[in-house]
Chain A
Amino acid sequence: MSGGVDSSVAAGLLLEQGHEVVGATLKLWGGASDSGCCSVADVDDARRVAQTLGVDHHIFNYTEEFERHVVAPFVAGHAAGQSPNPCIECNRHIKFDLLFERAARLGFDAVATGHHAQVLSRGGQYFLVRGADDQKDQSYVLGYLGNEQLSVLLLPIGAMRKSDVRREAERLGLRTWDKPDSQDVCFIEASKGREVFLRSRIDVTPASIVDRQSGEELGSTSAAELMTVGQRRGVLPGRDGEKRYVAKVDIAGKRVEVGRLEEILVSEILLDEPSLTFSHDVLADETQVLAQWSAHGRAQLATLHHGREGGRGWRLMLHAPARPVAAGQTVVFYRAGEPEIVEGAAIVVGS
């Protein structure tokens, strides 16, 4: 129970379905955040919701693990010019790894969360499916869940629309019913942003922004670590008035290359083989998938090819060219024939 409306309602619905429910709030971040130090306000909300529902509530401290598995790699990734997704890492290593293990040790049969996603059981196998509310679907950040985890995962609000979740919260008398959705990375304060956070951990690198065609310097950035290939935000248009997109980030060279959209488009994404998971079936060469590489991006038709660069690893061939995808980001694969079903995930090496 994060203290948000989704997990509040998830707990309430489970209770109404007759389950024996215990609420757990994970304390992940010890520093400042938008909900205050230690996320006290969120913990208070979760505790009060549990009280209202009449269920026990416990706080589990995972601050050290969060620092080790999520925050430190986030910082290291940026320092190395990558763009890791901390929410995916948190789900993977904290919620659906450490918490699942703990739940089993403490004698629970299942773990439930308030994610907008669904679990489908078919032929003795479990599949993750997109949430019913396509605006709120969170299957992307859960893309790494495997069969074993899905078999003990309950997602009580996954079939609901967000507006219905809020209505249920109101019906249940939960004070989180009108609480705004959380937007961003939980350990970064919106008013300060990623740059302030990164500056507190590493020296960031000022760099010039150079047009890759003309070689002309179009501007500068105070932190090359925060520039991501494909991004347009923070990049001024070229002299021709056309928009420019980041094509290449060279932190050591203190240089960010930008280009017009058609110059930067790619049709191939290289994947990190050890990070690749694929549900149930052995991944055959030239498998067609719908690939999505941001939480709210649109899934694109693509084909997985084995044997990049001298026959090793996997690459994703896009059927239509797209803006490049930065190393460290995660691609989630959805089934080409059944676009709601998650097939697997992989971390991007480059594009």
Chain B
Amino acid sequence: MTNQYYFDHAASAPRRDEVADAMQRWQHGVVGNPSGSHRAAREARRAVEEARDEIAAFVGAKPGGVIFTGGGTESCHLAVAGVASHHRRHHQTTSIVVSRIEHHAVLDAVELMARDYPNVSVHYVDVDSDGVLDLESLAGALDGDTAVVSVMCANNETGVLQPLDGVSALVRERPAGILTHSDAVAAAPWLDLAEATAGVDMVSICAHKIGGPVNSGALILRSDVAIDAVVPGGGQERGRRGGTVDVAAAVGLATAARLTAIERCEVAARVARYQQELFAALGAMAGCAITAPGTARLPGTVHVTFEGLASDELLFLLDQAGVCAAAASSCSSGAAVASHVLAAMGMAPERARGSLRLSMGAETTQEDVDALIVIMASVVERLRAEA
């Protein structure tokens, strides 16, 4: 059996034992519906509310602003579609402003709103060649119709940090009423979100990028946000997200968040060293270009391109050697496809074809990194020899 070297934390981080343990209690036998009034319900409700407190602390918001969801995609969708839906019921026209490098959770949600409602339009904000939001382009996109601005905290493909302070400052210069949302799913393992998203009205997170379960996330409202439920259901979560709250999922999210916050500084410092080692080693390989070199990014993400090589082939040989990695951009069939993020950065399609994202996390070790460097060298050498 080949050793496994897991370099796809950005797709899904390893599930933490403590998370599984904490969830265990809520996955067997009687688990009350938190909306009920008997003792089992009260017990469940208490666990949900404790989890809510922890999530609020994790993001630096009030517990009342935490909406538990079925994951990052739902959180992002609720934020942009929920605000746009409310806005369009009270205004003639509604404009949604998003960066071109948002996750499809945001992009597809806003496209849907524009498709379904003639008074809703979407404006896309450019990024520079390093994948950083262009604040001038943002300024030009804001107007009196703007309901919500969505800019991710850090990009999930490149790891490049976005100027959220600049976004908040620009929005504050405008007449009140424009809400901001930040998809912090990719940033959550690495940044203190209370600080990094301080000026943002809505923050999306999910559990499985920080060692929690999938299908668990939250949208956190930092202020009094006028938002429509996308799924009103039975009025749970203060009418903002219908459906019985999943106690185990909420507990799992909260446990993962707590552990992440405790170890964040140590992990970030250690993994940042790995990142530098990888950039140095990969950057020295023939035809390898580091994406957005020198740009501030998450410590866990290494995004590179190999000239003349195809992601498909790199991933195949890496997989054969036990390395789990990603091209970071795939369509619903699972095939690697041209990335909208790299396209927005102006990267030539031929270069983008050789994309590789190696993403790390708390569990990554020096041995993993050393092994990866050796394997990468042999894979690239082999593909170059055969090409």
| One of B181-189, B219-227, B327-335 contacting the partner | B327-335
Flag if A27 contacts B333 (CB, 8 Å): yes
Judge if A106 is at the interface, Cβ distance under 8 Å. yes
Q: Provide the residues of chain A in CB contact with B333, threshold 8 Å.
A: 25, 27, 38-40, 43, 59
Judge if B387 is at the interface, Cβ distance under 8 Å. yes
In the complex formed, the residue of A with least CB distance to B311 is: A61
Inter-chain CA distance A105–B312, complex, in Å, is 12
Judge if B316 is at the interface, Cβ distance under 8 Å. yes
**Number of contacting residues on A, CB 8 A?**
21
Flag if A38 contacts B386 (CB, 8 Å): no
Flag if B337 contacts A105 (CB, 8 Å): no
Flag if A106 contacts B317 (CB, 8 Å): yes
Judge if B383 is at the interface, Cβ distance under 8 Å. yes
Q: Provide the residues of chain B in CB contact with A106, threshold 8 Å.
A: 313, 316-317
Judge if A197 is at the interface, Cβ distance under 8 Å. no
Q: Provide the residues of chain B in CB contact with A43, threshold 8 Å.
A: 333-335
Which residues of chain B in 328-365 are interfacial with respect to chain A, using CB atoms and an 8 Å cutoff?
Answer: 331-337, 349
Flag if B316 contacts A58 (CB, 8 Å): yes
In the complex formed, the residue of B with least CB distance to A39 is: B333
B344 to chain A, nearest CB (A): 19
Judge if A63 is at the interface, Cβ distance under 8 Å. yes
Flag if A40 contacts B383 (CB, 8 Å): no
In the complex formed, the residue of B with least CB distance to A28 is: B335
Q: Provide the residues of chain B in CB contact with A32, threshold 8 Å.
A: none
Inter-chain CA distance A47–B349, complex, in Å, is 28
Which residues of chain A in 17-68 are interfacial with respect to chain B, using CB atoms and an 8 Å cutoff?
Answer: 25, 27, 30, 37-40, 43, 47, 56, 58-61, 63-64
Flag if A58 contacts B312 (CB, 8 Å): yes
Q: Which of A25, A60, A105 contacts B383 (CB 8 A)?
A: A105
**Number of contacting residues on B, CB 8 A?**
20
In the complex formed, the residue of B with least CB distance to A43 is: B333
A36 to chain B, nearest CB (A): 9
In the complex formed, the residue of B with least CB distance to A22 is: B316
A38-B387 CB under 8 A given contacts A60-B312, A106-B313, A106-B316: no
A27-B335 CB under 8 A given contacts A58-B316, A61-B312, A102-B313: yes
Max chain B Cβ within 10 angstroms of own Cβ: one of A27, A47, A56: A27
Flag if B337 contacts A104 (CB, 8 Å): no
Flag if A47 contacts B334 (CB, 8 Å): yes
Interface SS of chain B: helix
Which residues of chain B in 274-325 are interfacial with respect to chain A, using CB atoms and an 8 Å cutoff?
Answer: 310, 312-313, 315-317, 319-320
Q: Provide the residues of chain A in CB contact with B387, threshold 8 Å.
A: 105
Q: Provide the residues of chain B in CB contact with A25, threshold 8 Å.
A: 333
Q: Provide the residues of chain A in CB contact with B312, threshold 8 Å.
A: 58-61, 102
Inter-chain CA distance A61–B355, complex, in Å, is 13
Inter-chain CA distance A230–B320, complex, in Å, is 52
Q: Which of A37, A39, A63 contacts B337 (CB 8 A)?
A: A63
Inter-chain CA distance A59–B331, complex, in Å, is 11
Flag if B332 contacts A61 (CB, 8 Å): no
Q: Which of B313, B320, B332, B336 contacts A105 (CB 8 A)?
A: B313
Inter-chain CA distance A63–B320, complex, in Å, is 24
B268 to chain A, nearest CB (A): 33
Q: Provide the residues of chain B in CB contact with A102, threshold 8 Å.
A: 310, 312-313
Inter-chain CA distance A39–B332, complex, in Å, is 9
In the complex formed, the residue of A with least CB distance to B385 is: A105
Chain A, residues 92-131, CB within 8 Å of chain B (1/0): the string is: 0000000000101111000000000000000000000000
Q: Provide the residues of chain B in CB contact with A56, threshold 8 Å.
A: 319
In the complex formed, the residue of A with least CB distance to B309 is: A105
Q: Which of B310, B332, B349 contacts A40 (CB 8 A)?
A: B332
Inter-chain CA distance A185–B383, complex, in Å, is 33
In the complex formed, the residue of B with least CB distance to A44 is: B333
Inter-chain CA distance A27–B316, complex, in Å, is 15
A60-B335 CB under 8 A given contacts A102-B313, A105-B383: yes
Q: Which of B317, B332, B382, B383 contacts A38 (CB 8 A)?
A: B332
Inter-chain CA distance A107–B332, complex, in Å, is 28
Flag if A104 contacts B386 (CB, 8 Å): yes
Q: Which of A38, A105, A107 contacts B335 (CB 8 A)?
A: A38
Inter-chain CA distance A178–B319, complex, in Å, is 32
B322 to chain A, nearest CB (A): 13
Q: Provide the residues of chain B in CB contact with A27, threshold 8 Å.
A: 331, 333, 335
Inter-chain CA distance A43–B332, complex, in Å, is 10
Inter-chain CA distance A94–B80, complex, in Å, is 41
Inter-chain CA distance A311–B319, complex, in Å, is 56
Inter-chain CA distance A309–B95, complex, in Å, is 66
In the complex formed, the residue of A with least CB distance to B386 is: A105
Q: Provide the residues of chain B in CB contact with A39, threshold 8 Å.
A: 333
Flag if A59 contacts B334 (CB, 8 Å): yes
In the complex formed, the residue of A with least CB distance to B384 is: A105
Q: Provide the residues of chain A in CB contact with B332, threshold 8 Å.
A: 37-38, 40
Q: Provide the residues of chain B in CB contact with A59, threshold 8 Å.
A: 312, 333-336
Q: List 16 A-B contacts (CB under 8 A).
A: A38-B333, A40-B332, A43-B333, A43-B334, A47-B334, A58-B315, A59-B333, A59-B334, A60-B312, A61-B312, A61-B337, A102-B310, A102-B313, A105-B383, A105-B386, A106-B316
6 A-B pairs closest in CB distance? A27-B335, A105-B386, A61-B335, A38-B333, A43-B333, A59-B335
In addition to A38-B332, A61-B336, A102-B310, 14 A-B residue pairs with Cβ atoms within 8 Å of each other are A30-B337, A37-B332, A40-B333, A43-B335, A58-B312, A59-B312, A59-B334, A60-B312, A61-B337, A102-B312, A102-B313, A105-B313, A105-B387, A106-B313
